[in-house]
Structure 1
Amino acid sequence: MKRLLFLSAALALLFITAAWIEPTTQTKTLSASEVIAVDGDTIDHGDDRYRLVGFDAPETFRAQCEAERVLGLRAKDRLTKIIQTNGYVELEIEPKLDKYGRFLAIARAGGKQVGSILISEGLARRYSGGKRQSWCS
């Protein structure tokens, strides 16, 4: 009887502890032929949409000015080229979705973060959430 009580208490403690543990990130490698760049910081893979984190690229669909739309299309094209040139993209996926239902992920191609590449080329800027800066003068 004491053994049964001990096992029950141990199992209860295990379940309580497991509920407090933060979910971990998941890593996926996607073939370039299966990935579509929606814009400079968003990609689609099948039915899944990923918001690439750590940077912000100009909008293409809801641009606030022509300059933003043009730069956004350049960022989208460059993201596509980065992924296509490397043949794949590695995603480190966070265990939560953003407010639009997209997966949040850090993207790497050829061992480099794609956001860092786009930032270094003036096609994106660092971003960690909150109010976004305007791309229009």
Structure 2
Amino acid sequence: MRLLGGGVPFKSEVDAPEMGSRSKCEYERNLAQQAKARLKELLLAGVPWIDDSGSRDRTSSDRPLINIYLNDGREVGQVLISEGLAKRWNPKQRIDWCRSQVL
């Protein structure tokens, strides 16, 4: 799945750090693990509401583009962004998680 963020169909607004071999540095791998753990925690806190846009991303994995809302109405991608575990995605800018780490 790819989180759309903010309820905007056809436009992903959430960029999370990559895991495993796709990450560029140890900082990115660690942040990705934290984001994954936090996502799991949020989803286990109650039954989320999933809004499927019906669209797929344009990658080879053909992931569905969705929004996940928590019981309190917050959108999961926006929660991760507010907690520093994801960033707003911009199609014209690639995020370098390794350079953006706080030293």
The TM-score, its normalising length taken from structure 2, stands at 0.75
Measured after TM superposition, the shift of residue 131 of structure 1 is 4.2
Contact between 1:52 and 1:104, CA under 8 Å: does it hold in 2?
yes
Find 1:77's aligned residue among 37, 49, 73. 37
Aligned pair 1:51/2:2, yes or no? yes
Give RMSD over aligned pairs. Answer: 1.7
Residue of structure 1 equivalent to 2:46: 86
- Give the percent of matched residue pairs that are identical in Structure 1 and Structure 2: 36
Structure 2: gaps of 5 or more residues: 5-12
Runs of 4+ in 1 over 4 A off after TM superposition: none
Bigger strand fraction: 1
- How far apart are 1:78 and its partner, in Å? 0.4
Tell me the matched-pair count. 88
SS in 2 for 1:112: coil
Query: TM-score normalised to the size of structure 1?
Result: 0.58
Contact preservation (8 Å) 1:68, 1:136: yes
